[in-house]
Structure 1
Amino acid sequence: MPEHPQHIAILRLSALGDVCNLVPTVRALQRRWPEARMTWIVGKAESALLEGLSGVELVVYDKSTGVKGMRALWRRFADTRFDVLLHMQQALRASVLSLGLKCDLRIGYDKARAKDWQHWFTQRQLKPHPKAHVLESFMDFARLLGVEDTHLDWSLPVPEAAFEEARALTGDAPYLVISPCANPRLRNFRNWSAEGYAAVIEHAWQRHGLKTVMSGGGSPQERDMGEQIRRLTPNVEIIDAIGRTSLKGLLALLDRARVVIAPDSGPVHMANALGTPTLGLYATTNPDRAAPYLWRDYVVNRYPDAVERYLQKSPGDVTWGTRVRHADAMALITLEDVVGHLDTLLADTAEPAARMESSDEG
């Protein structure tokens, strides 16, 4: 194990939420070895999110380039030898990519957490950590290297131009961000209903005076969801930012929000990284493993119910990380679940003066 690594390589290509959960590990490594050079091999979209991350050289590997892109990356590092490679991407493509990188030590997941035979491509594996949150699994790499100071620090860079982009959409009044859709993938099933979101938007406006900003990518599924929500809320001000922001602009939008509501997706982890109060909606994925880390106590958690109903098992009988791939699972989340958690989250994160006024009114 290197005591004073001079050059650390991180291999983690995707996804947006995961790279956000990885940043505290990067910061912990930087605190331990501030003079060490750090190179992070990352995906194209994820690089745009992380651009400007202090002390880190971001090197993009676009998986759509396939073998051609791999060879280009190998040529780029032909004369480079890393002291240690932290292989944090559990995918066969990433493992093959790692073979073209010269390093003294390759560290990967322990056999229980490894997927796609990743442990065959590494020399040292993490110590077992059953039922670890994704963020903690990443931090285990720093722990294995002997890092003791593991306090959480993100310090994600958000340029002023991004804040200007966000302000142009929202103005200065307080707002709620709803990012209604997870990444549109086959059998993902992480999205709640348009009717549910519409009712929450009505509640946030009438009860808390919060207008809503809808965010998301520009896919047809996301645009369609946004249109459905708007049709269901004709009397409430909604700012539709779906497909209208850059990734840095989205960071700024989330940073300025009073609260963010979203299913298990990139935005809940982006908001979490910024310290914005975050309400995650979880039924198909286990929030104990993948909730917004700082706001785990406020997650709407119907995962145990989904496991029992659609997998006919108890939560303790399924492997860690099991997903409930059923189209009706998110329907287990009720409006009462969401507005109740929202009211609690807003009360718990109110300014002290506002809390006192609310108490006096009660």
Structure 2
Amino acid sequence: MGPGALQAHRRGGGRPVHRLGRTADDLYGHGAGHERPPPRRRARTSPPLTLVLHPGALGDVLLAIPALRAIRQRWPDARLTLAAQPRIGELLTTLGVVDRSVAFDSLGLDALFGDHPVEADRAWPARCAEELRRAARVVSWFGSRDPDFARRLTSLVPCALVAPSVGGHGAVWRHLLGTVAPGVEDASRWRERIAVPASVADAGRRELERAGWDGRTPVLVVHPGAGGRTKQWPAQGFASVLESLEAIGRPMVVVHRGPADADAVAALRPRLARGVVLLEEPPLAGLAGVLSHASAYLGNDSGISHLAAALGVRSTVLFTADHVAWRPWLCTVEPLVVSTQTVEPADVDRVRRALAGPGG
């Protein structure tokens, strides 16, 4: 694995770890787009609300982080609120990417769909939530294919943007960024890793210590699941790579299992050496805390892989050739294309070398 490789560094239940057997509109400036606490305000001052709509899965929402940073930079005095699946919104709030989150399904957006008289565009339907009514601006990565929804939302919120759907070319994260920052060529300032809050990292350390971590042994987090079987590298591929670590100094291997990953983990489990740790369905913030102590990560094209990459973990993320557009946005993460139909020896060797790092 070579010097420096795997050096110790730095969905929802809650089952424990256990062993297996600038100016307000300066969009095109280059100010920092990092996460930060909201600006201080005088008492009783209500900041304007920027509401972002994204009901997608974890990986889809994490691909929007560069765009969310650009939105924050464009309107720095606004309160950035994300309407998403609750567990995803809570994660991005905890990590400081957004100021607040609301459940997407609570907004009553279905009332804006369908053919309505033009005069209906002048008043909010009764079941639309207060967040929609108060928003100074709305960015919607949702509903662009329904002209009635787009018309009604932009009529009710003049500063609303209903972004076009992802096209067939280019990286998805860049498409999302382009919907709010068109023409920006240098996106590097919005592609830096997310800094994990100390409280989240401390909780992750305690979780690993309960599983037997000594605080020094390198930690390798493995996620064998994915949103579809066509995205899953066979269990034997993961097992072959993990077996190869034996001869070069074994790290502490932590296998993550999310709510939809039971089959993938069950296929991998009999092939694993004793002493591997299973992390079962932790809250996303808890998983982020564990990942903050990982020296390396190995996983399929999945939301968990996007989280590991966004946190700056040295990540080997496995893609099929037709899904590379969904690659992570972090500058230092390169997707690795493999066959998910069979375990090819060449793929195993490339994954092993990528995981080992330079000189591996």
TM-score by length of 2: 0.69
Which letter maps to 1:16? L
1:20, 1:200 → 2: CA distance?
A: 27
Corresponding residue for residue 87 of structure 2: 45
Task: Report whether the alignment pairs 1:137 with 2:175.
Answer: yes
Q: Is the 8 A contact 1:179 1:214 kept in 2?
A: yes
C-alpha distance 163-138 of structure 1, shift in aligned 2 (>3 A): farther
Corresponding residue for residue 210 of structure 2: 168
**Displacement of 1:202:** 0.7
Gaps of 5+ in 2: 1-23, 28-47, 114-124
Match of 1:255 among 284, 287, 292: 292
Q: Is the 8 A contact 1:87 1:108 kept in 2?
A: yes
Instruction: Determine helix, strand or coil for the equivalent of 2:248.
Output: helix
**Displacement of 1:54:** 5.3
Task: Report whether the alignment pairs 1:211 with 2:252.
Answer: yes
Corresponding residue for residue 103 of structure 1: 157
Match of 1:272 among 284, 309, 319: 309
1:263, 1:9 → 2: CA distance?
A: 31
Q: Is the 8 A contact 2:49 2:136 kept in 1?
A: yes
Corresponding residue for residue 348 of structure 2: 338
**Displacement of 1:197:** 1.4
C-alpha distance 104-136 of structure 1, shift in aligned 2 (>3 A): same
Q: Is the 8 A contact 2:26 2:74 kept in 1?
A: no
Superposed CA offset, 1:261-285 (max 9, x none): 1111011110111111111111264
Task: Report whether the alignment pairs 1:56 with 2:109.
Answer: no
Q: Is the 8 A contact 1:44 1:62 kept in 2?
A: no
Instruction: Determine helix, strand or coil for the equivalent of 1:74.
Output: coil
Percent identity among equivalent residues? 19
Instruction: Determine helix, strand or coil for the equivalent of 1:281.
Output: strand
Corresponding residue for residue 222 of structure 2: 178
Task: Report whether the alignment pairs 1:198 with 2:251.
Answer: no
**Paired residues, what number?**
298
Match of 1:77 among 106, 131, 144: 131
1:26, 1:147 → 2: CA distance?
A: 17
2:141, 2:209 → 1: CA distance?
A: 36
2:193, 2:231 → 1: CA distance?
A: 26
Gaps of 5+ in 1: 115-129, 303-328, 349-354
Q: Is the 8 A contact 2:241 2:351 kept in 1?
A: no
Task: Report whether the alignment pairs 1:237 with 2:275.
Answer: yes
2:131, 2:109 → 1: CA distance?
A: 17
1:21, 1:154 → 2: CA distance?
A: 12
Q: Is the 8 A contact 1:86 1:106 kept in 2?
A: yes
Task: Report whether the alignment pairs 1:300 with 2:336.
Answer: yes
Q: Is the 8 A contact 1:189 1:284 kept in 2?
A: no
1:72, 1:217 → 2: CA distance?
A: 37
Instruction: Determine helix, strand or coil for the equivalent of 2:129.
Output: helix
C-alpha distance 282-97 of structure 1, shift in aligned 2 (>3 A): same
1:195, 1:166 → 2: CA distance?
A: 26
Superposed CA offset, 1:240-277 (max 9, x none): 1133x221111122221121111110111101111111
Which letter maps to 1:59? V
C-alpha distance 76-213 of structure 1, shift in aligned 2 (>3 A): same
C-alpha distance 90-264 of structure 1, shift in aligned 2 (>3 A): farther
Task: Report whether the alignment pairs 1:23 with 2:52.
Answer: no
C-alpha distance 14-82 of structure 1, shift in aligned 2 (>3 A): same
Q: Which structure dedicates a bigger proportion of its chain to helix?
A: 1
Instruction: Determine helix, strand or coil for the equivalent of 1:342.
Output: helix
C-alpha distance 266-146 of structure 1, shift in aligned 2 (>3 A): closer
Q: Which 10-residue stretch deviates more, 265-274 or 32-41?
A: 32-41
After superposition, the CA RMSD in angstroms is 3.7
C-alpha distance 146-344 of structure 1, shift in aligned 2 (>3 A): closer
